[in-house]
Amino acid sequence: MSKKNSNNDLMDKIVSLCKRRGYVFPSSEIYGGLNSCWDYGPLGAELKRNLKNYWWDSMTNRREDIEGLDAAILMHPQVWHTSGHISEFNDPMVDCKTCKARFRADKLAEARCPKKPSKSPLECGGELTEPRQFNLMFKTFMGPVEDDTNVVYLRPETAQGIYVNFLNVKNSSRQKIPFGIAQIGKAFRNEITPGNFIFRTREFEQMEMQYFIHPSEDEKYFEYWRQERWKWYQSLGIDMDKMRWHKHGDDELAHYAKAAYDIEFEYPFGWQELEGIHNRTDFDLSRHMEATKKDLRYRDDRYQEKFIPYIIETSAGCDRTLLTLIVNGYDEVEVKGEKRVFLRLSPKIAPIKAAVFPLVKKDGMPEFAEKVYHELKKHFKVFYDVSGAIGRRYARMDEAGCPYCITVDGQTLEDETMTLRDRDSMEQKRMKVDEIITFLTKQITA
């Protein structure tokens, strides 16, 4: 099988696993779905929440220099004129005169012709129009009158909500430069060619942090945040051979950036951006200051003069990180002659931390196991399963990404110890319930 086909197969298997195990469903599926929109099911919602909490915790709670924010999606429309998104946030687009499909002019080689999916629009023989600029922002109307004066935009990045609150956060938190503001929230882009499952969608979530610094320290903090973000992915157990840096050339830099690096991951459909780290200079604050006439300059006793802070931004996609973790964790292994799927998610973000099983449905084992389950439930998201052979139960949890299975057996009734099986090493250790709580807490909060 060619690499391309096997990679397509892998993506199909991942989409199918996500549906089967309740991670991700097509949006409005009973109506035939809606292009590029996806819903997170019970395990997906839990995984996404854990991922966001892990990011939030490492960016805010475990630090002293970063504050959190949750700004509105709808903002004053002038914000987007000032930020340059109305004039600059465009992708070049071409139409195929033959099949009427629309493609990004700068991604034609990667795109597929809808009539001849084995070919790109450059190879299929269709005639393409000249490129035209297409603004990616979604528009809607505020209030009952749908005219130009009432247009508002769905934010295409969460960052602007942070910039317009710079003074509010600085004054209320009494933070001194260097300090950051972190935010997680939905962003919307009317992408010309969304696709690759939850990789590129029109509605997605970002986890962004803006770090405000003295302009003379921009290179130092740019480097610092590149290293921090790299380590963060490492801490989630991602195979770092599948991660690399991509430095933006002058032709790729966003309109606001002086320098930018992407952290890229090798997805089944190729190397693609996972997170961007940008040196946005004083571009955004200067523009907002000019537009609003509000003084956004910074001063404290350490500096002789007022200055507009520079900003180092770390911008990660939540859905894209979730896809990365699933692709990274997907594994097929032959166990006793049978092909088995494992989803090797880190205990830190796994939706279900442990499953509790009685070995058999008799001899008081279910009663003991239920007691253990209720005790563990006070601390973690756990799952109780009594149905089917023990091997089947293990297999179901392995595929669902659960890192540990706890089995109550005959010995439990004598000494209260249970086996705790590690999904990845398949090793089993005997522990009492208190030891299990200590062990799981350590694995999850490490």
User: Judged by CB under 6 A, which of 266, 273, 399, 435 binds ligand GAP?
Assistant: 273
3-class SS string, 326-364: HHHHEEEEEECCEEEEEECCCCCCCCCCEEEEECCCCCC
Reported residue count of the chain is 446
Q: How many residues bind ligand GAP (CB under 6 A)?
A: 19
Question: Cβ(66)–Cβ(169) under 8 Å?
Answer: no
Q: Are 164 and 181 in contact (CB under 8 A)?
A: no
Burial of 332 from C-beta contacts in 10 A (0-12 / 13-18 / 19+): exposed
Among 113, 184, 236, 316, binds ligand GAP (CB under 6 A): 316
Residue 200 in contact with ligand GAP, rule: CB under 6 A: yes
Cα–Cα distance, 382 to 354 (Å, whole number)? 5
Q: Does 346 bind ligand GAP (CB under 6 A)?
A: no
- Whole-angstrom distance, CA of residue 23 vs CA of residue 95: 35
Rounded to a whole number of angstroms, the minimum distance from the CB of residue 12 to ligand GAP is: 20
* 154 forms part of the interface with ligand GAP (CB under 6 A): no
Residue 409 three-state SS: coil
Q: Which listed range, 169-177, 288-296, 311-319, 425-433, lies at the site for ligand GAP (CB under 6 A)?
A: 311-319
CB of 52 to ligand GAP, least distance (A): 14
* Strands 90-95 and 132-135, bridge-based pairing: antiparallel
| Helix segments in 266-350, DSSP class H | 283-292, 318-329
Diameter over CA atoms, the chain: 78
Cα–chain center distance at 53: 11
In a 3-state reduction of DSSP, which class is residue 137?
A: coil
Site stretch for ligand GAP (CB under 6 A), options 41-49, 71-79, 232-240, 273-281:
273-281
Residue 179 near ligand GAP by CB under 6 A: no
Give the residue, chosen from 315, 328, 346, 412, that forms a contact with ligand GAP under the rule CB under 6 A. 315
| Residue range at the interface with ligand GAP (CB under 6 A); choices 25-33, 137-145, 232-240, 316-324 | 316-324
* Least Å from the CB of residue 132 to ligand GAP: 20
The verdict on 206 binding ligand GAP (CB under 6 A) reads: yes
Please give the residues from 155 up to 174 whose contact with ligand GAP meets the rule CB under 6 A.
157, 159
Specify the DSSP class assigned to residue 215. Answer: G
Q: Pick the binder of ligand GAP from 67, 91, 95, 208 (CB under 6 A).
A: 208
Q: How far is the CB of 332 from ligand GAP (least distance, A)?
A: 27
Our finding on whether 276 is near ligand GAP (CB under 6 A) is yes
Positions that interact with ligand GAP (CB under 6 A)? 157, 159, 189, 191, 200-201, 204, 206, 208, 273-276, 313, 315-317, 319-320
